[in-house]
Amino acid sequence: MKLSVIYITSLILGGAGAWLISRWGHNLGLLDEANQRSSHKGAIPKGGGIGILSVFIFASLVLNLPFLIWGCISIASVSSFYGDKKDISPKIRLLIQLLSGVGMLIGLFYLEDRSSIVYMSIPFFALFVVGTANYYNFMDGINGIAGITGIVAFSLIILFAALTKSDIVFLPIAVCMIVSCIGFLPFNLPKASVFMGDVGSILLGFVYALFVVGLSYEPSDFIVLCSFLFPFYADELATLFVRLRNGDSLMKPHRKHVYQLLANEMHIPHWKISTSYGVLQLLVGLSVLAVKPMGFLFLLTILLVYFVGFLLFSIIIRNKAKALCHS
């Protein structure tokens, strides 16, 4: 099958999944009821990312991605789709994700014929995969942010592969993820008729992590590829830092991410926040690609500078949000 046909099909499936859930999500019990932690009002169907999952499975089959890779990722996503309908114990959810991550990594290392010593890194990379998938999920809280981030992240991955002349056989799947997000976004931005849900955000996190590990042959590769999701990592880590500083329970649900404060306390339109995060993501990714030849330590230094800048920005936003609440 021609790649152009695969990409067009992916675009259609990404939109079709969102449309189907927006129409019949109520009947299926896939509703996100607004509560004190929500950034929306009323009840919005969730699980529209099922179209993105269908794209991933379709692309994996026609591009001959090994079953162990796409099957494990799909299990994590499908279990999340069930979680969009009914609550799943966090321990069970994490166990499924961890087993899926280990299976995916074994399949990846076998596909790429990595040396046996690389298999010893599976525990580290499994934690990275699960952590990234959940970071992506935690950050999917306002209209457009998950879809825009997916488009930018996978575009940067393709650029990285081109610049480094990486021979990764399943790179077209990154394009499929981009066009599936493009197909989904009109149903989620600027006003949401459907949410992506865990089925989509967990999937995108897993597939992104798959490419990070698959394209990393030295530490600097790993750092550069991780930087393509900088706003998500930075917001999550900055929020974690602030909550630990304040003595908050990490098990307690919250609405303290920077993007949530901007949307809820400061009432900035979702599309502006999501677009701004996407622009920041693109700028950080391009700058890190540009300085990659300068070495590993320089990469770490510039990313640390970026993170400190984001941390200071988050503190300013938190202080403004607190002042607005007390005014």
pLDDT, position 327:
61
Burial 35-72 (b: 16+ CB within 10 A, else e): eeebbbeeebbbbbbbbbbbbbbbbbeebebbebbbbb
pLDDT, position 38:
54
**In 3D, which of 75, 113, 304, 321 has the Cα closest to residue 206?**
75
Instruction: Give yes or no for a contact between 22 and 194, defined as CB atoms under 8 angstroms apart.
Output: yes
From residue 133, give the alpha-carbon distance in Å to each of 12, 272, 318. Answer: 25, 24, 26
Which helix (H) or strand (E) is 31 found in, with range?
A: strand 31-33
Q: CA 47, CA 84: separation in Å to the nearest integer?
A: 6
For residue 269, say if its preceding peptide bond is cis, omega within 30 degrees of 0.
Answer: no
Residues 294, 297, 299: CA angle, nearest 5 degrees:
65
pLDDT, position 246:
77
pLDDT, position 250:
64
Q: CA 236, CA 256: separation in Å to the nearest integer?
A: 10
Residues 122, 162, 3: CA angle, nearest 5 degrees:
90
Q: How would you class 235 by CB atoms within 10 Å of its CB: exposed for 0-12, middle for 13-18, buried for 19 or more?
A: buried
From residue 164, give the alpha-carbon distance in Å to each of 168, 224, 289. Answer: 11, 12, 10
- Residue 312, C-beta contacts closer than 8 angstroms, at least 6 positions apart: none
Which helix (H) or strand (E) is 45 found in, with range?
A: strand 43-45
pLDDT, position 326:
66
Q: Give the residue extent of every domain in the chain.
A: 3-326
What predicted TM-score, i.e. pTM, was given to this entire model?
0.93
pLDDT, position 83:
73
Half-sphere exposure (CA, 13 Å, Cβ side) for 105? 24
pLDDT, position 150:
97
Residues of the chain with pLDDT under 50: none
pLDDT, position 40:
57
- Residue 282, C-beta contacts closer than 8 angstroms, at least 6 positions apart: 152, 156
